[in-house]
Each structure stands twice: as C-alpha cells, then as structure tokens.
A = this chain, B = another copy of it.
Amino acid sequence: MARPAPKIRFLYTGIRVRDLDRSVRFYKAMGMRELFRGKMDHGGEYVHLAFPGSYVRLELNYYPKGNKFYEAWGPGSEFDHLGFRVDDPDRWLAKLKRAGATEAIAAWSETGSRIGYVNDPDGVTLEVFGPDPAATKPKRRRRAPA
C-alpha cells in the first residue's frame, strides 16, 4: 500500500550568497548536485541543491545590488549553523577547506564523536560531525585456528 504523502515537509533551508557561482562550486565540491535554478520576478536568482538520494535541499539566494531584497551582507543571530553528519569528519573537513571553507572551530573528539566547524565562502557556519575513528576503531578479531 502506498504511504500517504506527508502533509508538511521541512524541505529546504535558504541562505543568501554574494557570488552564486562560487557558492554552487563550493556546495558541489561537498557532494551536492544542482536540482534547478531560476530567476525571481524582481531579479533575484536562486539555485536548489541536494545530496543524491535525499529530498532535503539547500537553497542559495542571490539578490543583486539595487534589488528590493538586497542588503549589505552581514552576519546576524537568528541563524546558527547547518549540520552535516558524515562518515569521516577529518577527511570531510579537509575536503571542505580545499574547496574554499575556512576553519571556524578546530575539530575535537567528544564521547565517541569527532566534531568540527568551518565557514563557507560567505561565512555561513557548517558543523561537520560523525564517528571518531580513534574511538570506534573495531578490534580485529583473531582468526580461529584452522
């Protein structure tokens, strides 16, 4: 039996970017794929991205200077960060830095997890967390004698 469609879905988070191409490159380097893009009537542009196999999207919004939604870019306090669960935090953090992210809080280990924060090219903070390889390394089982 087909499951009924959910009545409400937390579908995406929209952030503002100052250079659409730069941000698309960055989030693609993270593994996201572009789903679609478009222009708003008032001249703004948007791009939706998602990881393959997931419906959850990141929306990049760009408002050119002179646009009614344009404002000088500045951090505020209603937004905190985006959270990404990964298989190998240190490898992902290095990958993001190569793609243009800057370190916000150096990675640390805590109760079996490894956690680090970087900022995307606009300064949007990304938390990258997952299992701490040092804590979860499985003990190799000794092979039973033949």
Contacts and interface: CB of A to CB of B under 8 A. Distances in A.
B11 A85 contact: yes
Contacts of A15: 78-80
A9 B72 contact: no
Given A31-B7, A84-B9, A16 B51 contact: no
A53 B26 CA distance: 30
Contacts of A136: none
Number of contact residues on A: which range applies? 35 or more
A130 to B, nearest CB: 9
The oligomer's copy count stands at 2
Given A16-B80, A78-B122, A81-B14, A7 B73 contact: no
A75 to B, nearest CB: 5
Contacts of A124: 78-79
Contacts of A84: 8-11
Contacts of A78: 15-16, 73-76, 79, 122-124
Contacts of A75: 76-78
Interface in A42-78: 50-51, 53-54, 56-59, 61, 71-78
Contacts of A16: 77-80
